[in-house]
Structure 1
Amino acid sequence: MDVTEDAVRDICTDAVFERGERYLAEGRIHEIHRVDTTVTAVVSGSRQYDVRVDLATGGFAPWCDCPYDGPGACKHVVAVLLRCVDDPPSDNGDRLDAALGGADADELRAFLRDELATDTDLRDRFLARVGEPMRQSVDELRTSIDRRFEETNPEYHVVFEPIDFTQWFDLANEHREQGRAASAATVYRALTESLDENMERVDGAYDHFSRAFSRALDGYVDCVAATERDADAVTDAVAFLTERAVSGTPFLAEHFEKAAVELQEKIDEQSCK
């Protein structure tokens, strides 16, 4: 996707666009890097914020760990995108490809194994890519996600700033791309449960958490529907959604109710084909 000022304006408010312009002019962007279409950067504000955008995705799939919860993208994202309009960072994709192409296979294998041994996120995605089904349960995944809420603001119960759930969404997507809908559904359900349980402690960045919840819930329904031959899984999913509508966070009840109805309709449509 071409990065133009008009395209950036489309994803933010006029006020945020102006603040993003000011941040760029003030030189607040640091450590900006690009690999293929993914750009990452650090933008200084009241503290240092991590930003990530995808130049090839409609809307740029922006992510920032600032507490902004207004409509559209934040000023840090806008500043980075405007930098890409005026002075795009060089693409390191070819450099990586060249390094990989010239690497010794045994050394590369040893390096990868060392990294996989210590980086659980990378290890999970690697195993998903090479064909391993999900072995973690919903409860085990939820423990990791819940921990992120605890670590975000350890001194208080309240969560003020966004949490990056990318590692779990990427893991679910990897399983989906490999045709393992049941494994992806496990990840989406863990995300849905954790967000539901922790939503009432959120006091800021509401749009961020609401979008993450909706994305996880939609993914769960889609993946369960893709496993329509597993009647027990479908029955369990509908029961889970119905129960959550009653016992979960009150303002999310309607979302669970609609999801239960949508899943049942998907299954009924498939059974009629």
Structure 2
Amino acid sequence: MDVTEDAVRDICTDAVFERGERYREEGRIHGIHRIDTTVTAVVSGSRQYDVRVDLATNGFAPWCDCPYDGPGTCKHVVAVLLRCVDDPPQDEGDRLDTALNGADADELRAFLREELATDADLRDQFLARVSESTTRSVDELRTTIDRRFEETNPEYYVVFEPIDFTRWFDLATEYREQGRYASAATVYRALVESLDDNMERVDGAYDHFSRAFSRALDGYVDCVAFRGRDDAVTDAVAFLDERATSGTPFLTEHFEKAVVELQEKADEQSFE
């Protein structure tokens, strides 16, 4: 889509737009790069924030690791998009392609393997992209998600700020796009369990965590139903029923509705 001020205004509040304008004018945008339609940048605020937008996607698919949890997108994203309106960064896609084409295959493989060996997130994404099913269990994935709750506010049990769950949602999406619904369901279930078990320690940004929980629960139901296996549906219903009884009280209704939706979708799938 075209990057215009009007398009940017459509994805944020007026107050956030003004703050984003001020950030752009103050020169807070650093290290801005563009590969094809994806723009990444670092924006200085109370600390350095990473920003990513897709200029070809409706709404720009904005992502930022700041704790903003208000309506629309944050001022850091707005600042970057306004920079793209005034002074769009040069596309470095051709340069990247030239480097890749000229790279020695063995050296490239060695580099990739080294990065994959040390970066668990990248490794998961890579394996998902090449259509490998996940070898990680729900419990293993939950451990990494739970750690985010512990790291967010290590001195206190209570979590005051939003937590970025993008890496897990992106991983689940990658599996879904590859048709690996069982693997996607594993990721979604890990998110559901972690969010359910940690929800009572949340004190602030309730909408953020509620949206993440609903998104994970919906994804789990969709993936289990799409597989169309009776044993998978039975296991999932048992899991959801157990959570409705023993999980966070104010999430009980969500689990109960999920059971009904799963059974309905599974029935629809069996007739197709």
- Fold shared, TM-score > 0.5 on shorter chain: yes
TM-score (norm 2): 0.93
Q: Is the 8 A contact 2:226 2:269 kept in 1?
A: no
Rounded to whole Å, the distance in 1 between the matches of 2:161 and 2:36 is 29
The alpha-carbon deviation at position 259 of structure 1 amounts to 1.8
Rounded to whole Å, the distance in 1 between the matches of 2:252 and 2:205 is 20
- Give deviations 1:15-50, integer Å, cap 9, x for gaps: 111111111111111222222222222222222222
Rounded to whole Å, the distance in 2 between the matches of 1:37 and 1:254 is 41
The alpha-carbon deviation at position 61 of structure 1 amounts to 2.0
Distance 1:36 1:245, change over 3 A: farther
Rounded to whole Å, the distance in 1 between the matches of 2:195 and 2:59 is 24
Task: Indicate the residue corresponding to 1:133 in structure 2.
Answer: 133
Q: Is the 8 A contact 2:67 2:163 kept in 1?
A: no
Distance 1:40 1:208, change over 3 A: farther
Q: Which amino acid aligns with 2:152?
A: T
Task: Indicate the residue corresponding to 2:268 in structure 1.
Answer: 269
Gap regions ≥5 residues in structure 1:
none
Rounded to whole Å, the distance in 2 between the matches of 1:37 and 1:255 is 37
The alpha-carbon deviation at position 257 of structure 1 amounts to 2.1
SS in 2 for 1:232: helix
Distance 1:130 1:69, change over 3 A: closer
Q: Which amino acid aligns with 1:218?
A: D
SS in 2 for 1:134: coil
Task: Indicate the residue corresponding to 1:27 in structure 2.
Answer: 27
Gap regions ≥5 residues in structure 2:
none
SS in 1 for 2:134: coil
Q: CA RMSD in A?
A: 1.7
Distance 1:185 1:31, change over 3 A: same
Q: Which amino acid aligns with 1:121?
A: D
Matched, 1:153 2:131: no
Q: Matched residue pairs, number? A: 272
Task: Indicate the residue corresponding to 1:112 in structure 2.
Answer: 112
Matched, 1:63 2:63: yes
SS in 2 for 1:158: coil
Rounded to whole Å, the distance in 1 between the matches of 2:68 and 2:75 is 9
Rounded to whole Å, the distance in 1 between the matches of 2:2 and 2:254 is 35
Rounded to whole Å, the distance in 2 between the matches of 1:68 and 1:113 is 35
Distance 1:41 1:250, change over 3 A: farther
The alpha-carbon deviation at position 127 of structure 1 amounts to 1.7
Task: Indicate the residue corresponding to 2:165 in structure 1.
Answer: 165
Rounded to whole Å, the distance in 2 between the matches of 1:7 and 1:252 is 36
Task: Indicate the residue corresponding to 2:215 in structure 1.
Answer: 215
The alpha-carbon deviation at position 246 of structure 1 amounts to 2.8
Rounded to whole Å, the distance in 2 between the matches of 1:59 and 1:242 is 37
Task: Indicate the residue corresponding to 1:98 in structure 2.
Answer: 98
Identity %, equivalent residues: 86
Q: Is the 8 A contact 1:20 1:78 kept in 2?
A: yes
The alpha-carbon deviation at position 249 of structure 1 amounts to 2.2
Q: Is the 8 A contact 1:69 1:204 kept in 2?
A: no
Task: Indicate the residue corresponding to 1:9 in structure 2.
Answer: 9
After the TM superposition, which parts of structure 1 deviate over 4 Å for at least 4 consecutive aligned residues?
Answer: none
Matched, 1:227 2:227: yes
Distance 1:21 1:153, change over 3 A: same
